[in-house]
Amino acid sequence: MEIDLYYYIYLVLKYFFLFYGFCLIALYFFAILLSNRSVNRNKRKARFLQVNDIVSATDIPSITLIAPAFNEGRTIVENVKSLLSLQYPFYDLIIVNDGSTDNTLELLIDKYDLEPFDSTFITQPIPTSTVNKIYRSRKLQYRQLTVIDKNNGGKSDANNAGINFAATELVLCTDADCIIEQDALLKMVRPYLEEFDQEIVACGAAIGIINDSIVKNGVVEKLRLPDRLIPMIQVVEYIRAFLLGRMAWSEINGVMLVSGAFGLYARNRMIEVNGFNIHTVGEDLELGIRLRKHMEEIKVPYKMVYLPETLCWTEAPNSIDVLIKQRDRWARGLWETMRLHKDLFFNRKYRDMGLFYYPYWMFFELGAPIVEFVGFLSLIVFTILGLINWNIAILLFTSVYLLGCIFSTISIFIYVKNFKHYSTGKEVVELLLAAYLEPFIYHPILVLGQVQGYYKKIFGVKSGWGNMDRKGFQALPKEKQ
């Protein structure tokens, strides 16, 4: 009787895993078709409205870049120099010093000749930690730079302070340690100029990995693939996530997440939803969902879109320890956001978002690590009980592995075909090898980090942002600069 019960459980789990896997595979194939169509559509649009047309226009939206900074003294001067050199006719830059305990503020005051000014007349619609002083430069060439010095409140709180003090139509939230392409703003604003029937509330773009590349004066001088395997696999992961994931969602207006490292928003809508949520570590996803809910509730046609081009570069975790901390945090943020907005689940009031997009995130984004972890435990238990048919199991594993390799290969070749970042044969081969090693070396680490994050949420283990140690960008030798 006991054996029959185990066998019954085995059959239920086996067919559940098969059904779940087939659903994921079908979704990936659908994403390939949507992504390819979306990339081609963006290329056609770019031919009609080119960067040179935008840079010479006088009626384009004004933009404020908001970059929170906490203890960035080692790189803050060069990063600000880079952000001040972007190609866009009407933009301001707000650096939010979020209670740094190092010399970040002093370096900015000294380098950019900053002086405090009276800001009591500026309304602050979004509550934030106390703002101590507002600084602007005495020098004309830095007239678009503002530095906000405030008590520490975290990244979301710092972004909200920047949104309060911005005086432009659009705000772009980024990180002080990101490297932004010089023409990024010109490309990011294009959807706002092209769309007439629907309001663009948020726009994102692909983010690239810059580990072991060479940076000069805040500009990527020479892009290289990372030397170490862990960040190299992340290059493949990011390519696949942005091309097969977010570009596919963009094609059907299903984008719910614009990366917190690089996202352009309509400032008035940000204020209407009270800015970023300071009580979650997944602030970018939570904001995206809240923006969509708000637009649904006020019944204004809207879109959240993604551009396929890599316009922002960041440093990925170099070590397993830091990677686990990052994915732990992402998992906790996802859990918090799904729980916070559980009223969306199959809710007809929110149309496609309630009926399709939110359930997808619940079943396949939140649920996938749980399914994988349960599957791994089931494999151990049913092996001990002698219930595994190893011929079928190996065949299924091989099929799933090969399908995963196919999806990654397609992503890499779409990227290489349309963008010239990794164009040599050696780089393509290295990316493909990283993709084929990913399921054995990298993916188990991700699942471990995600399950660890879920464990903390289920059992109330307190955990904050986590220390993301960074190696830093390489600079050119002085004689070459």
Task: Return d(Cα 409, Cα 428) in angstroms, integer.
Answer: 10
- Other Cβ atoms within 10 Å of 262 Cβ, number: 25
Task: Give how far the C-alpha of residue 184 lies from the chain's centroid of Cα atoms, to the nearest Å.
Answer: 16
Long-range contacts of 415-418 (CB under 8 A, 24+ apart): 415/239, 415/243, 418/39, 418/43, 418/308
Question: Nearest 5°: phi and psi at 146?
Answer: -125, 135
Give the CA distances from residue 51 to residues 46, 196, 277, 326, 445, in Å, rounded to whole numbers and listed in that order. Answer: 8, 19, 34, 35, 41
Task: Return d(Cα 108, Cα 168) in angstroms, integer.
Answer: 23
In a domain, 25, yes or no: no
Position 266 scores a pLDDT of 96
CATH number of the domain enclosing 163: 3.90.550.10
In a domain, 411, yes or no: no
For 69, half-sphere exposure in the C-beta direction (CA atoms, 13 angstrom radius) is 33
Give the CA distances from residue 81 to residues 73, 112, 214, 393, in Å, rounded to whole numbers and listed in that order. Answer: 13, 10, 17, 56
Question: How much is the pTM?
Answer: 0.92
Question: Nearest 5°: phi and psi at 304?
Answer: -115, 125
Give the domain extent around 176: 62-319
Beta 199-209 vs 219-222: how paired, if at all? unpaired
In a domain, 374, yes or no: no
Strand order in the sheet with 214-216: 219-222, 214-216, 474-475
Task: Return d(Cα 238, Cα 411) in angstroms, integer.
Answer: 10
Collapse the DSSP code of 348 into the 3-class scheme (helix H, G, I; strand E, B; otherwise coil) and give the result.
Answer: helix
How would you classify residue 99: left for phi > 0, otherwise alpha for psi between -120 and 50, otherwise beta? left
The two three-digit tokens of residue 172, written as one number: 């772009």
Give the CA distances from residue 183 to residues 16, 40, 52, in Å, rounded to whole numbers and listed in that order. Answer: 48, 20, 10
In a domain, 124, yes or no: yes
Number of domains present in the structure of the chain: 1
For the chain, the straight-line distance linking the first and the last C-alpha, in angstroms and rounded, comes to: 77
CA dihedral (228, 419, 248, 409) positive or negative? negative
Question: Nearest 5°: phi and psi at 307?
Answer: -100, 140
Task: Return d(Cα 318, Cα 468) in angstroms, integer.
Answer: 10
In a domain, 340, yes or no: no
Task: Return d(Cα 202, Cα 325) in angstroms, integer.
Answer: 28
Length of the chain: 481
What single string gives the DSSP state of each residue in 35-69? HHHHHHHHHHHHHHS-HHHHHT-SSSPPEEEEEEE
CB contact at 8 A, 444 and 318 = no
Q: Which residues contact 86 (CB under 8 A, 6 or more apart)?
A: 65, 180, 182, 183, 184, 185
Name the helix (H) or strand (E) containing 148.
strand 145-150
Task: Return d(Cα 221, Cα 199) in angstroms, integer.
Answer: 36
Residue given tokens 């496609």 in the structure block = 352
In a domain, 229, yes or no: yes
Collapse the DSSP code of 120 into the 3-class scheme (helix H, G, I; strand E, B; otherwise coil) and give the result.
Answer: coil
In a domain, 358, yes or no: no
User: How much of the chain is in helix, strand and coil states, percent to nearest 5?
Assistant: 55, 15, 30
Q: Which residues contact 248 (CB under 8 A, 6 or more apart)?
A: 30, 31, 32, 34, 35, 38
Q: Which residues contact 326 (CB under 8 A, 6 or more apart)?
A: 317, 449, 466, 468
* Tens-binned pLDDT, residue by residue, of the chain (481 aa): 555 888 888 899 999 999 999 999 999 999 999 999 999 888 887 776 666 667 667 788 999 999 999 999 888 988 898 899 899 988 999 999 999 999 999 999 999 999 998 877 778 899 999 999 999 999 999 999 999 999 999 999 999 999 999 999 999 999 888 889 999 999 999 999 888 889 999 999 999 999 999 888 778 889 999 999 999 999 999 999 998 899 999 999 999 999 989 999 999 999 999 999 999 999 999 999 999 999 999 999 999 999 998 899 999 999 999 999 999 999 999 999 999 999 999 999 999 999 999 999 999 999 999 999 999 999 999 999 888 989 988 999 999 999 999 999 999 999 998 888 898 999 999 999 999 999 999 999 999 999 999 999 999 998 876 555 656 555 544 434 3
Position 471 scores a pLDDT of 60
In a domain, 283, yes or no: yes
Position 481 scores a pLDDT of 37
Torsion, Cα 336 338 341 347, to 10 degrees, reads -170
